[in-house]
Amino acid sequence: MEGIRSSSVLSCYYSSKTHFKLRRQPLEHCFLSLPPPPPPPRHPASRPKVRISLPSMAHQVQDQQSFHKSKEMLPKIDKSGRFCSPRAARELALLIVYASCLQGSDPIRLFEKRINAAREPGYEFDKASLLQYNHMSFGGPPVTTHSVEEADELLRSDEQDSAIEAEILSAPPKLVYSKLLLSFTRKLLVATVDKWDNHVLAIDKVVPSNWKNEPAGRILELSILHLAMSEITVLGTRHPIVINEAVDLAKRFCDGAAPRIINGCLRTFVKDLAGTSTAQTSNSKLEVPLQV
């Protein structure tokens, strides 16, 4: 890295061999304005012209039961009326990394800019919307409708959820996330930046070849892998928790087979880590100190 100055920052750039990497560049070359967070892909409800053959309600009931069970296990907001679930912090970190890759800027600086951004005059945030926001809202199979009225109602519900989501994700983070979550988000971003180049190599070993050939179309998926690997190796979070959270993020923000592939990639990564650790331990036991 030649020509690094004191005002340089880390930025993301596209590598034709693999995917996005981090490098340092002058501060004036970075774009520090954070665009609105990308909404999760949805399957819009279209107005049906004929009666549709539809799947069973079992999947919907199972998703609702899982969501209510998760709400009982972990509170969603704290006494100050802000998100306190680690899921929210991981989601915020993903949106920051995704935005930084799109515009070629430093994730940590983007996060700090978002945190310290001044509120617009007269801006008010409705904290009641936090209780209506669903971190467990996933894409999935076609929706179940049997009439035009049901489709219209489903569309209205989807539009309402989208409006709540847009309001929360665009609000000042200090109004949405607890101090503990913001601290956790920053630690996760710092770990991701520090380990980025190492994990580029690790990701290349585990992702399918078609992801390597189209990295620009897999920014979300690759960002999820970077965040998960960094949380395992740097923050020391138990890998079953991290893998489960990464798969849920993929279900929420990605589509297709991404959740299954991310699950397999991370399990392979953890297995390789365990094998490396075992080999290092064995080598250290075989070393015999020299007698002087």
The model's pLDDT over 40-95, given as tens digits with 9 standing for 90+, comes to 444 444 444 333 333 443 444 344 444 444 444 456 888 888 999 999 999 999 99
- Give the per-residue pLDDT at 186: 97
pLDDT of residue 194: 95
**pLDDT tens per residue, range 135-170:** 877 766 666 778 888 888 888 888 888 888 888 988
- Residue 150: what pLDDT? 84
The set of residues, in sequence order, having a beta carbon less than 8 Å from that of 91 and lying 6+ positions away, is: 135, 249, 252
Q: How far apart are CA 91 and CA 109, in angstroms?
A: 17
Burial of 289 per CB tally in 10 Å (0-12, 13-18, 19+) = exposed
Strands (E), 15-90: 20-26
Helices (H) and strands (E) in the chain, counts: 12, 2
Class of domain 77-138+147-276: mainly alpha
* Summary mean pLDDT of the chain: 76
Q: What's the average model confidence in pLDDT over 262-277?
A: 90
pLDDT of 132 above 90: no
Confidence of residue 31 (pLDDT cuts 50, 70, 90): very low
Q: For residues 165 and 38, give the distance between their C-alpha atoms in angstroms, rounded to a whole number.
A: 10
Task: Write down the residue that tokens 């995704």 correspond to.
Answer: 98
- Where do the structural domains in the chain lie, given as residue ranges? 77-138+147-276
Residue 171's alpha-carbon distances to 52, 117, 121, 125, 216, in angstroms, are: 39, 10, 13, 7, 28
Report the chain's terminal Cα–Cα distance, integer Å.
44
